Amino acid sequence: MAYFLFVLFLTIINLTKGEPIVPALFIFGDSIVDVGNNNNLFTAVKSNFFPYGRDFLNHSPTGRFSNGKLVVDLASELIGFASYQPAYLNLNFEENNILNGVNFASAASGYLDSTATLTHVVSLSQQLEYFKDCQNKLVKIVGQANATSILSGAAYFLVAGSVDFVLNYYMNPVQEKIYTPYQFSNILLECYTNFIRNLYESGARKVGVASLPPIGCLPIIISFFGFQNTCVENINKVAIDFNGKLDITSKKLQNMLPGLKLVIFDTFQPLYELITRPTDYGFFEARKACCGTGVLEVAIICNPMSVGTCVNASRYVFWDSFHPTEATNKVLMDRLTPIVMSLLLP
């Protein structure tokens, strides 16, 4: 891997002459990639307070659901951006701060708009509308031709689906009575298909989509649905099934939409290996998260009053009961680097 990364680094420098690999990066999805869009919303799903962000730049809680950098921060660094893409809802549009892209992700959002409605956050549909608004602002800043060039050359990342299953299915008795988890998957994939089509019509051509992680291994899922403090494998099987359908659906979309490069970022396998064999990767704890007791705390329940929060988060796979630590994000980014680069490079 080290040799591959060295060769990759030389390739990037040669192709880009020190400039970012793509002109801009636009991010959509949920809390795994939210960098602060929920900060000023009327919702309990926030993280702009300690101990969130305690290991981030300037030890600052920004609204990121981790102790430090997110995978999308690491990806932005890999691509070559000097600063991270800002949260759309925190932007000052009087400045030219959208030229390198924008982050529209909202914690607790999902493929279904009803998922976002449950906690009063920004739905994926609304995130797309915000993106269209940014397009118009970009045209005013650089002109139509340059804006079109930026948008067609940009990278687009989408991370969603986990909250749909965790909050809007497994913790929602109404949905469970109406659908099997596999039927629910099909509904999510219809939403995914519509989103990609709309994103494509808005000019996107390089799109990376994260698969579902092993949601059956999340501390909060084990706490509610587990029996022996191990991953809930029947829920993981649903995630695996969804990921297989996601791959098939994505291939169909790529064949149907000329010029679209649609890549799936497999997060399930590397995270499952890390969670089930943490010591192989230098980690100590994978069942309990760092924050508080590590079994339930997330968002406002993970706060300065949380008793028992760990001192060294780098030994923990999870920061809170739903989200990974920066150390985990770094391991995941190392595994995803080849596929990310396959999306971005010519």
Contacts of residue 54, Cβ cutoff 8 Å, sequence gap at least 6: 61, 67, 68, 313
Which is catalytic among the residues 123, 162, 321, 323? 323
Element (H, E) at 27: strand 25-29
Secondary structure (3-state) at 134:
helix
Instruction: Look up residue 320 and give its two tokens.
Output: 């809170």
Instruction: Look up residue 90 and give its two tokens.
Output: 């925190």
Q: Is 280 an annotated catalytic residue?
A: no
Which is catalytic among the residues 31, 66, 76, 109? 31
Secondary structure (3-state) at 285:
strand
- Residue 43 CA to residue 31 CA, distance in Å, equals 13
Dihedral in degrees, nearest 10, Cα atoms 31, 35, 41, 44: 40
The answer to whether 72 and 35 are in contact (CB under 8 A) is yes
Q: Is 31 an annotated catalytic residue?
A: yes
Which is catalytic among the residues 30, 55, 73, 320? 320
Q: Is 120 an annotated catalytic residue?
A: no
The DSSP line for 152-214 is HHSEEEEE-SHHHHIIIIIT-HHHHHH--HHHHHHHHHHHHHHHHHHHHHTT--EEEEEPP--
- Residue 152 CA to residue 344 CA, distance in Å, equals 12
According to DSSP, the β-strands at 155-159 and 101-103 are unpaired
- Residue 251 CA to residue 254 CA, distance in Å, equals 5
Instruction: Look up residue 188 and give its two tokens.
Output: 């999510």
State the catalytic residues: 31, 320, 323
